[in-house]
Chains A and B, each alone.
Chain A
Amino acid sequence: MRHILTALVMNEPGVLSHVANMFSARGFNIDSLVVGRTEDPNLSRMTIVVIADERTLDQVRKQLAKIVTVVKVRDYKDSPYVSRDLMLVKLGVTPRTRSEIIELADLFRGRVVDVGHQAIMVELSGEEDKLDAFVELVRPYGIRELARTGVIAMARGVQPGSGDEPAMENAPETPRMVKPAGKRQPTQAELEATPPG
């Protein structure tokens, strides 16, 4: 089974390596892994697609959550979600095929982002299946180059307990703490409250 997990991770060097290492060390397969910024500069978000049975997925989720630099893990096994993949594809064109390709791109709600004498570049986003279908459709025209971002995903609506690992047996405790995430730098008020010297 194909599963999507997202992990909120600390934005610092080595985190990607922690996650990638864990997958290779435990023999789990990553289908795709996307890392990007979030609204909080201290945190990044990883979207990971794994092929695993339920039990392996459970281990993947727990092993991810165990990594110290991983803040939150969520899997989308039992919840509705939206997933998207973004693709740029460069196709060879002749004057005759150009309009056909533009028509196909329109049908898929893609956009032509670059046009040349010999090539045309299309931008397309959507679920992976849709992108796969488009690729098959335009393959006869000659794919010069193709790049896909991999899947990103987000749960629909606001769900109880979203963000925390949903199936944890008991509530995690945090033997540290101090500040909510994302406040590494002291505020101006704090700075002023500190006695000089």
Chain B
Amino acid sequence: MSSTSLSGGAARAAASKTTKPNKTDKMPEASPSAAGVHSGAEVGNELPVLGHPTGLTDRYIGKTGAQILLQMLLEHNVTDAFGYPGGAILPTFDQLYDTKLNFVLVRHEQGAGHMADGYARATGKPGIVIVTSGPGATNTVTPLATAYMDSIPMIVFSGQVRTYVIGNDAFQEADVTGITRPVTKRNYLVKNVKDLPRIINEAFIIATTGRPGPVLVDLPVDVTTNKVESAIDDTPWLPGYKTYRLGHSRMVKAAAEMINASQRPVLYVGGGAIISGAWKIVRELAEKGNIPCTTTLLGLGAFDENHPLSLHMLGMHGAAYANYAVQDADCLIAIGARFDDRVTGNLKLFAPKAKIVHVDIDPTSISKSVKVDVPVVGDARLCLTGMIELIEHRPRQQWLEQIAQWKAKYPFAYRDDSPVAKPQAIIEAINKATAGNAFFTTGVGQHQMWAAQFIRWSIPRSMITSGGLGTMGYGLPAAIGAQVARPKDLVIDIDGDASFIMTAMELATIRQYQLPVKVAILNNNFQGMVRQWQKMFYGSRFSNTEMINPDFAAMAESFGIRGIRCEKKEDVQKVVDEMIRHPGPCVVDFLCETDENVYPMVPSGKGIHEMELGIVGSAPPNMARDMGTLA
């Protein structure tokens, strides 16, 4: 049996990136050039070795598929899972009855998916979901798509009808692998219990390595009830799966030279820096080269925003100074970011003066939308570790002075001129009370952008938000997932009224497990962001965006959760403090100004220097001239 623990152990090692050096002779065939190409081959170039010397193991004999699933989840260091039972997954739920695994029963499978996603974002561990067939599985499609867009490790185990009735339109049958194929990194329909251990091992590797992503494993009833009867091979077989770790040494060198030669470099840091744990090295890089650093929405927390080199968030609703810096830069260093359209605005006008270095683990991200001059394909942390040696100190006095001027002139701002509280003021109060020292989740819309702008992000993984897919209703379940992952930490869902009510039934989950999640609803009785677009681009015709909401505080109370309604602007700080001090869960309904827009805003089709600045004023006169415009 000595060989039997190797597979699970090695898969775990792959997941946690603490792999042991490869000492067997079996490997080199797989990656003949791996050692030769990289000059820094000794750094992080160890490959995990999976499998058994013999290929076969008898450890699963006599166990049902459901038993194997639970056993293997524990072996893969899973401690928590989220889900909802149903007919086709009952054999697995029966095993959950007396397992060590902490299982969180949700109210809707979409909630389970977002919880697992929030759990994964708060920890880096894969989020686990267990749901039934048909509607149970289809309800996880939105969370899968959310996780896929934002590269979040997550594994959904869905029940399925018995293998011999698949295709017969059986009760609660759906072609789940067919439906989820475009929104998963990989999905499986397990047809024989003998394949299950191998598939589970593969699922963990695929979900957690390379560019992480969601995996779905569809489990027919007879697979979870049948027993393994003979020795089987649980070794992952992934001949087509490649990941990249160290960048090509020539590219790393070229990148460093380009950075050293630049006068006006900008670091543009995305979620990849958080996934790879690159925040320390990003800071070292910025400080060593005196390079100002802006982050994407998903990169918030990867660079301390209190640092003088921080440019805060860039993009459509990013800081004016971040956008100006990118547009004026002569070298843009993208790290784990993918030039999303919400970042670049009009591609033809994006970073017109810059040579572009792109560090990314996914080769398909390179030159997908923006032509890259120096691609470095690999893990952000490992690539930068190799690069930083070659970075030379530069004062870059003039550039930093220019940026300091922009920062002084175009800060995030709002005018506190309404009888009810301004939403920005509420977020500032939360920022003041927490000093950014909490895990924040959000829904999608104006409140999300204001949270990004007015919280001073300094802690990696502290911003948990749906970026790529923009999934309204994400905030509450994601907060539950984060709280399950970090039971001792403060978790605050900054939500909008429309986003919140999309998944508000999960308040019952909060109540059931007494999770001390705080929910701050910025309630303007509108779908604020859609309203903003209608106001700016559709002649203030507010078509179907006004919300007649319930009394959220009373609603929370009916779930057995402390509910507070904050109507007066002068009470905001007091109520925020009270919410945070409250030991249990707490929902606060902050009434706030309806007619408020998020600024800056880059209108669609414009370059990111062509922002509407709102009350901040007008752009520097030379901007449009220097950057060009399509208008």
A interface vs B, CB < 8 Å? 9-10, 13-14, 17-18, 21, 25, 43, 55, 58-59, 62-63, 65-72, 168-181, 184, 186, 190-191, 193-194, 197
Contacts and interface: CB of A to CB of B under 8 A. Distances in A.
Contacts of B181: 14, 17-18, 21
A45 to B, nearest CB: 13
Contact of A174 (B31, B36, B45, B231): B31
B327 to A, nearest CB: 23
Contact of B182 (A21, A71, A175): A21
10 contacts: A21-B181, A62-B366, A65-B363, A68-B206, A170-B247, A176-B14, A178-B55, A184-B233, A193-B54, A197-B58
A78 to B, nearest CB: 18
Contacts of B48: 175-176
Contact of A62 (B30, B177, B209, B364): B364
B153 to A, nearest CB: 14
Interface string B440-454: 000000000000000
Interface stretch (B129-137, B235-243, B532-540): B235-243
A159 to B, nearest CB: 15
Contacts of B36: 171
A9 B243 CA distance: 17
Given A9-B240, A176-B238, A178-B26, A190 B49 contact: no
A10 B236 CA distance: 14
Given A13-B189, A173-B245, A186-B56, 15 more contacts: A10-B239, A66-B363, A169-B248, A169-B375, A171-B34, A172-B244, A173-B31, A174-B238, A174-B241, A176-B48, A176-B237, A179-B55, A181-B239, A190-B56, A194-B231
Contacts of B49: 177-178
A68 B215 CA distance: 11
Question: Which of A18, A59, A66, A176 has most B Cβ within 10 Å?
Answer: A176
Contacts of B186: 68-69
Contacts of A181: 239
Interface string B30-51: 1101101110000001011111
Contacts of B58: 194, 197
A17 B378 CA distance: 28
A172 B238 CA distance: 13
B205 interface: yes
B379 to A, nearest CB: 10
A10 B240 contact: yes
Given A14-B181, A58-B367, A186-B56, A175 B243 contact: yes
Contacts of B248: 169-171
B547 interface: no
Given A62-B363, A179-B235, A186-B55, A171 B31 contact: yes
A9 B202 CA distance: 17
A63 B246 contact: no
B125 interface: no
Contact of A176 (B26, B189, B236, B364): B236
Interface of B: 14, 26-27, 29-31, 33-34, 36-38, 45, 47-51, 54-56, 58, 177-178, 181-182, 185-187, 189, 202, 205-206, 209-210, 231, 233, 235-248, 251, 362-364, 366-368, 375-378
Contacts of A170: 37-38, 244, 246-248, 251, 377-378
A9 to B, nearest CB: 7
B240 A69 contact: yes
Contacts of B247: 169-170
Given A175-B209, A176-B50, A72 B182 contact: no
Nearest to B52: A178
B364 A174 contact: no
Given A65-B363, A181-B239, A172 B31 contact: yes
B220 to A, nearest CB: 14
Given A169-B366, A171-B33, A173-B244, A178 B47 contact: no
A191 B57 CA distance: 10
A193 B58 CA distance: 13
A62 B377 CA distance: 12
B376 A173 contact: no
B239 A71 contact: yes
A194 to B, nearest CB: 5
Nearest to B53: A193
Contacts of A194: 54, 56, 58, 231
Nearest to B362: A66
A68 B367 contact: no
A10 B238 CA distance: 9
Nearest to A71: B240
A187 to B, nearest CB: 8
A170 B249 CA distance: 8
A70 B240 contact: yes
B55 A175 contact: no
A67 B47 contact: no
B188 to A, nearest CB: 9
Contacts of A17: 178, 181
A13 B241 CA distance: 17
B237 A68 contact: no
Contact of B47 (A14, A173, A191, A197): A173
Contacts of A21: 181-182
A101 B202 CA distance: 56
- List 9 tightest A-B contacts by C-beta distance, closest first: A172-B242, A170-B248, A178-B51, A71-B240, A171-B33, A62-B364, A186-B55, A181-B239, A68-B186
B242 A177 contact: no
Contacts of A18: 181
A179 to B, nearest CB: 7
Given A66-B363, A174-B47, A175-B47, A186 B251 contact: no
Contact of A65 (B14, B205, B238, B242): B242
Given A169-B248, A171-B31, A179 B363 contact: no
A193 B231 CA distance: 12
Given A21-B181, A170-B246, A178-B235, A67 B55 contact: no
Nearest to B251: A169
Contacts of B243: 172-175
Given A14-B181, A69-B240, A71-B240, A177 B246 contact: no
Contacts of A25: 182
B246 A176 contact: no
A184 to B, nearest CB: 6
Nearest to A187: B55
A166 B378 CA distance: 17
A169 B376 contact: yes
Contacts of B56: 186, 190-191, 194
